[in-house]
Amino acid sequence: MTFVIGPVAVRVPASSANLGPGFDALGLALDLHDEISAEVVDAGLEIRVTGEGRDGVPLDETHLVVRAMHAAFDLLGGRPPGLRLSCTNAIPHGRGLGSSAAAIVGGVLLARALVAGGDELLDDAAAFQLTVDLEGHPDNVAAAFFGGLTIAWVDGAAAAVERLDTDVAVTVFVPPSAVSTEKARGLLPESVPHRDAAVNAGRAALLVAALTGAPHRLISATEDRLHQSYRAEAMPDSYKLLRALRVEGVPTIISGAGPTVLAFARGVADAAPQGWSVHELDVDQAGAQVVSG
């Protein structure tokens, strides 16, 4: 196996999963990006992180990008003698905007790009499967990998995705404090009423239609009964904002496991609680891209 000479860089979008009723299936890529570069060196591991998460991530082999790179290198045929890694992060950590998915997708694509002929040794289907295996569920990594609106699922152990075009403006409200995905998932019940499951199935189908051609249906299409209300105690301010915007007729959801709130609208930034940051974003259409190398 031959490694390329010089640095390689990738640009990976943020993502919002669930989108209300599409629990663990729907994902949307957003034009907020992490940029990650890496270079094979003679020995050792050097990691530099700027931007989001710079004070909270490990700077050793447990760094998520490095773990993803090593998993990809193992599939490609062997690890390099050393790595120099630089991460410029814009995606908030622990906020439900797919920071871990971006790290995993970025690491896998970086490793592939650092190997001569890597695209042939690890095609997109195999690379996507690896990202799902590493993340544990397909919704965020599908959107980060392919861009646009994605419907992702797993048949047995095989990950699959259907990518759809959508052009919708969003506003994300990012609170100052994180909520762990594990904590948010731990609040979900083992079972839900049949009526609620039926409503969500219908709303998820409607949401795909709303995002691909019927935007006037978004307020109904974003209704959820499976997860958001159960998680409210972990993010009461987020749930309060969601309810307030929906009462005003603004299609609004909790992004992923929260606590970020996402509205399918512009001109609502003034609704942000004090201390929250606001980003008005478009859909990222391209997904993760190798931008040099």
Q: Is 137 annotated as a binding residue?
A: no
Confidence of residue 284 (pLDDT cuts 50, 70, 90): very high
pLDDT of 84 reads 98
pLDDT at residue 55 in the model: 87
Pick the CATH number of 8-165 from 3.30.230.10, 1.20.120.550, 3.40.50.720, 3.40.50.300: 3.30.230.10
pLDDT single digits (tens) 179-198: 887 888 889 999 999 999 99
Could you read off the pLDDT of 110-139 as tens digits, one per residue? 999 999 999 999 999 999 999 999 999 999
- Using the predicted structure, report yes or no on whether residue 174 has a pLDDT greater than 70: yes
Residue 259 is labelled as binding a ligand: no
Task: Map out the domains of the chain as residue ranges.
Answer: 8-165, 170-281
Contact indicator for 151, 208 with CB cutoff of 8 Å = yes
In this prediction, residue 22 carries a pLDDT of 97
Confidence of residue 4 (pLDDT cuts 50, 70, 90): very high
What confidence tens digit (pLDDT) does each residue in 148-158 have? 999 999 999 89
**pLDDT value of residue 208:** 98
Whether residue 215 is predicted with pLDDT greater than 80 in this model: the reply is yes
Q: Is the model's pLDDT at 293 over the cut of 80?
A: no
Domains 8-165 and 170-281 share a fold: no
Binding site annotation covers 58?
no
Average pLDDT value for residue range 21-33: 97
User: Is the distance from CB of 47 to CB of 59 less than 8 angstroms?
Assistant: yes
The reported pTM is: 0.96
> Any binding-site annotation on 92?
yes
Angle value at C-alpha 171, between 211 and 142, nearest 5 degrees: 50
User: Is there a binding annotation on residue 98?
Assistant: yes
pLDDT exceeding 90 applies to what percent of the chain? 94
Q: Three-state secondary structure along the chain?
A: CCECCCCEEEEEEEEEEECCCEEEEEEEEEEEEEEEEEEEECCEEEEEEEECCCCCCCCCCCCHHHHHHHHHHHHHCCCCCEEEEEEEECCCCCCCCCHHHHHHHHHHHHHHHHECCHHHHCCHHHHHHHHHHHHCCCHHHHHHHHCCEEEEEEECCEEEEEEECCCCCEEEEECCCCCCHHHHHHCCCCCCCHHHHHHHHHHHHHHHHHHCCCHHHHHHHCCCCCCCCCCHHHCHHHHHHHHHHHHCCCCEEECCCCCCEEECCCCCHHHCCCCCEEEEECECCCCCEEEEC
* pLDDT at residue 245, as a whole number: 98
Give the per-residue pLDDT at 79: 97
Q: Is 95 annotated as a binding residue?
A: yes
Non-local (6+) Cβ contacts of 51 within 8 A are: 34, 87, 88, 89, 90
CATH pick for 170-281 out of 3.30.479.10, 3.20.20.370, 3.30.2130.30, 3.30.70.890: 3.30.70.890
Are 86 and 121 in contact, with CB atoms under 8 Å apart?
no
> 101 labelled as ligand-binding?
yes
Residue 186 labeled ligand binder: no
100 labeled binding residue:
yes
